[in-house]
Every structure is written in C-alpha cells, then in structure tokens.
Amino acid sequence: MGSLRGPKPKTSMNRFGCSRTNTRIQHENAGAGQAVHPIAPEDMLPAQRQLKLCLNDIEACDSEAANAAARLSSIQMLIHQGPAKLGNLHKFETCALVGNAGHMTKKKYGEYVDKHQAVVRFNTQEVHKFAAHVGSRTTLRVLNHARSRSACCPGEEQTIPEKRSPSQKLAFLLWHPGAQKELLQQCRKTYPKIEVHALNQKFIMGEVAIMQALRRDVKRFGITGLDAWRQLTS
C-alpha cells in the first residue's frame, strides 16, 4: 500500500545566528502554487470591478472596493486566525505599520503615524532624521535575520535608533526561524530592558497559508508577476 504522506518539505542549509552555525531550515513555500484563472470581466460584480480598479490605482480605492476586499477568502482567513499574543504587549485599538522603503520620504505622514496607539516598524529604520515623514514613535520593531544579528550579536553594529532614547518603551519581534532560540537569548542579554519575542513556526506557516491565498485572490483580478517564492520571512 502506498504512503498517504505528502511530498517531503524542501529544506536548505545556511549559516544562522551569532555563531553563524550551519542550520537546515524548512522552506515556507514550495513554488508558484496552483494555476489561477482570472475572473472574466462580464462575470465580475460591480464591487469586484471597483476592487480591480483599486488594485491598479490607489485613487480608485473606496468603500465599495474595501467591502469587496473584505469578502476575499484570504482576508477572511486573516480575520479569523486570531490575535498573536506577544508577552506583556496589550491589545491596541489602532496601529500603524511603517515600511522602510525610500519612497516613504516622498510625503510627510509623521503626524498621522504618531497618532496611533502602536507603531510597528521593520528592521532598524532611522526615525530621528525622517520624523516628519515616518513619525517618531516606535512600539515594536520586526527584525529580519540579518537585522537580528546586527542588533543583538556581540561585535556587530547594534544600530537600533532607540538606543539613543532608552526611556521609550520598545519591543522586538524576530520573525525568521533560523537559529531563533540563540538570537532570542542574545537579544534579551543585549537589551535587558526591551521585550523580545519571536514568531513560532506554527504561526509563521499560518501566515504563509494566508499569503498563498492572498496571491491566488489577486491573481483572479488579473494581477501578474507573482512567481515562485521560498520564504515569507527573511
């Protein structure tokens, strides 16, 4: 009788953690995924047409497009997955997610960012020089593997902007699985006054499933260029 198990997950070796130890990690995705056929224009509901316009032009994003987006299977998965519990971080009513791309300096969103209860930033983005554009407050920094090492490992740069203002309450979130336990311990040692958390593998794979579903959903609206990928985390 043949095995009922699915294909063995793909893995790869790399050097992770402060010690740069060779570690094998499981790929979070196995390729481009199943083929998706776009919705024919004549089969689209009015709200779906508006959402398609919104996906191609932000100026077309309105309440009708938002309602259509909320009904997508991927967004429903996101809504019903439940909140992630991170130590003593309490539930916030509003939050701002601030990226670190260069185009953030094109407009001044700082005052709007700082009005939110929680401000989440990625990696070690500088805020002091660009406060007018990206705000000045930080509640949580999501660090990729490279920034986790540079922020926490002995002998590294440890370039965290908030080190200059230790009175600001801050937390770190490590989101890559490579040598996660080692980095978690080292970050807590380097920054004893900062809460440091890490996403566990179960939560990461739940997010991967949502990302896969989201890519299928937007492909149905004719969005292209979404090819194979291996890791959601970095």
Q: What is the pLDDT of residues 89-134, one digit of tens each?
A: 777 889 999 988 777 788 899 999 999 999 999 988 888 888 999 9
Q: Are residues 180 and 226 located together in one domain of the fold?
A: no
Q: Are residues 134 and 179 located together in one domain of the fold?
A: yes
Confidence of residue 164 (pLDDT cuts 50, 70, 90): low
Does residue 184 lie in a domain region? Answer: yes
Q: Which domain holds residue 161?
A: 95-198
Residues 6 or more apart whose Cβ sits within 8 Å of residue 182: 17, 18, 19, 21
Using CA atoms, how far residue 14 sits from 17, 21, 22, 26, 177, in Å, is 10, 8, 5, 11, 12
Check pLDDT > 60 for residue 175: yes
Does residue 224 lie in a domain region? Answer: yes
Check pLDDT > 60 for residue 152: yes
Q: Are residues 131 and 70 located together in one domain of the fold?
A: no
pLDDT tens digits, one per residue of 9-34: 777 788 888 988 888 887 777 665 67
Q: Are residues 138 and 187 located together in one domain of the fold?
A: yes
Does residue 150 lie in a domain region? Answer: yes
pLDDT at res. 110: 92
pLDDT tens digits, one per residue of 35-91: 788 999 999 999 999 999 999 998 999 999 999 999 999 999 998 887 777 776 777
Q: In the chain, how many domains are there? A: 2
